[in-house]
């Protein structure tokens, strides 16, 4: 796996991808994670080139915690955007931190064709949201 940040021009990330992961890494510093101590940053890029970031916000009532990915999506929607082209997630742990199931469900509604880059200090992985969330719940109305 390539080291992060990639040092070699042969690293498989484009400059735009590196910028998005860097934004996720930077916003991670602002995570509020006093309970798990596991800080996560997410950055999403929209069809119009906008970049929105989010960090996990935990709560003493644990279930009220919001993940970084959803925080970024909420920020984007509040800004009036909807179509995500790329998602970057940055966390530091023994393994790359993949988006949780709830975040995949929320992401796919706004990012069905998005590329996903998951990164950490020792490397990164590129995939797609379609691969991570093959059969999402879709609400088509009752009856």
* Binding window for ligand THU (CB under 6 A); candidates: 63-71, 78-86, 113-121, 128-136: 63-71
Rounded-to-integer distance, Cα 41 and Cα 23, Å: 8
Contact 111, 87 (CB under 8 A): yes
Unique residue bearing structure tokens 């997410």: 42
Choose which of 27, 67, 114, 132 interacts with ligand THU (CB under 6 A). 67
> Taking CB under 6 A as the criterion, which residues in 73-112 touch ligand THU?
99-100, 103
Q: Which two tokens stand for residue 115?
A: 């590329």
Choose which of 44, 46, 52, 58 interacts with ligand THU (CB under 6 A). 58
Contact 79, 106 (CB under 8 A): no
DSSP 99: P
Question: How many residues make contact with ligand THU (CB under 6 A)?
Answer: 13
Specify the residue, 99 or 120, whose C-beta has the smaller distance to ligand THU.
99
Phi-psi sector, 106: left (phi>0), alpha (psi -120 to 50), beta: alpha
- Shortest distance in whole angstroms from residue 47 CB to ligand THU: 23
- Shortest distance in whole angstroms from residue 67 CB to ligand THU: 3
Rounded-to-integer distance, Cα 55 and Cα 42, Å: 6
Q: Does 56 bind ligand THU (CB under 6 A)?
A: yes
Cα 133-139-140 angle, rounded to 5 deg = 125
> Is 47 one of the annotated active-site residues of the chain?
no
Catalytic residues: 69
Which residues bind to ligand THU, rule: CB under 6 A? 33, 36, 38, 40, 56, 58, 65, 67-69, 99-100, 103
């Amino acid at each position: 796996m390539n080291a992060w940040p990639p040092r070699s021009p042969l690293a498989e990330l484009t400059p735009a991808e590196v910028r998005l992961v860097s934004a996720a890494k930077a916003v991670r510093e602002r995570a509020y994670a006093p309970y798990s101590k596991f800080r996560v940053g997410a950055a999403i890029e929209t069809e119009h080139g906008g970049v929105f970031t989010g960090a996990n916000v935990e709560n003493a009532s644990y279930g009220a915690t919001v993940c970084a990915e959803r925080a970024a999506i909420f920020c984007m929607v509040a800004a009036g955007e909807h179509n995500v082209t790329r998602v970057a997630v940055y966390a530091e742990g023994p393994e790359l931190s993949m988006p949780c199931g709830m975040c995949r469900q929320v992401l796919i509604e706004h990012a069905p064709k998005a590329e996903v880059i998951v990164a950490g200090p020792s490397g990164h992985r590129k995939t797609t949201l379609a691969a991570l969330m093959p059969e999402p719940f879709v609400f088509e109305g009752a009856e």
